[in-house]
Amino acid sequence: MLTVGDTFPTFDLTAVKGGAEGLKLASAFTQITSASDAGKWKLVFFWPKDFTFVCPTEIVAFGKLAGDFADRDTVVYGVSTDSEFVHMNWRLHHDDLRDLPIAMLADIKRELSTACGILDKNAGVALRATFIVDPQGIIRFASVNDLSVGRNPQEVMRVLDALQSDELCPCNWHKGEDVLRPAA
């Protein structure tokens, strides 16, 4: 699995747009590449499969924080190995996903999942991996959960705040709290 300090892989994936545009067949799809949103921080999170149980809880939670991530100059990309058509159908038929403000990327060839090293060896789907990538394309945070365990998007936000502070941040630090200062 790729980890902190590695360069996030290049990619070119079809996505279902976030917001109302993602619900209209004529305008739902777009290409998102590793060059999209250049100069911004990126939060890239993977989930195993659409139309499952744990996945929408995480996706909705990341979506609810999309504005907070945007305030931190961070774009959020959700990715699974399902197609863009499956993503759109799921959004259309799942009440909690209908208003999702973030793009859902389709890694149907499993190229990005493979390049990140996060394909489950038995199921052949993406693990619940999360990457925070800085504006230079360097991974600054990486985590992966078992297929049955959801993530905490608030913790991902806390880590992003700490990374963007460029300071020494103690355990459980939150934005606005004191940072550590080495003795001079």
**Dihedral Cα 92, 98, 102, 108, nearest 10 deg:** -20
Out of 55, 116, 169, 171, which one is annotated catalytic? Answer: 55
Q: How far out from the chain centre does Cα 122 lie?
A: 23
In the chain the domains, ranked by start, together with CATH numbers, are 12-147 (3.40.30.10)
Of 68, 14, 80, 72, the C-alpha closest to 44 is: 80
Residue count (the chain)? 184
3-state secondary structure of 145: strand
The angle subtended at Cα 53 by Cα 52 and Cα 54, nearest 5°, is 115
Say if CB 179 and CB 165 are below 8 A apart: yes
Q: Active-site residue 55, yes or no?
A: yes
pLDDT for 21 equals 85
> Could you read off the pLDDT tens digit of each residue along the chain, which spans 184 residues?
999 999 999 999 999 999 988 888 889 999 999 999 999 999 999 999 999 999 999 999 999 999 999 999 999 999 999 999 999 999 999 999 999 999 999 999 999 999 999 999 999 999 999 999 999 999 999 999 999 999 999 999 999 999 999 999 999 999 999 999 988 7
All residues at 6 or more sequence positions from 48 whose CB lies less than 8 Å from its CB, including other chains:
55, 80, 81, 120, 123, 125, 126, 127, 128, 147
pLDDT for 25 equals 82
Of 5, 10, 96, 12, the C-alpha closest to 57 is: 96
Q: What is the chain's Cα-based Rg?
A: 16
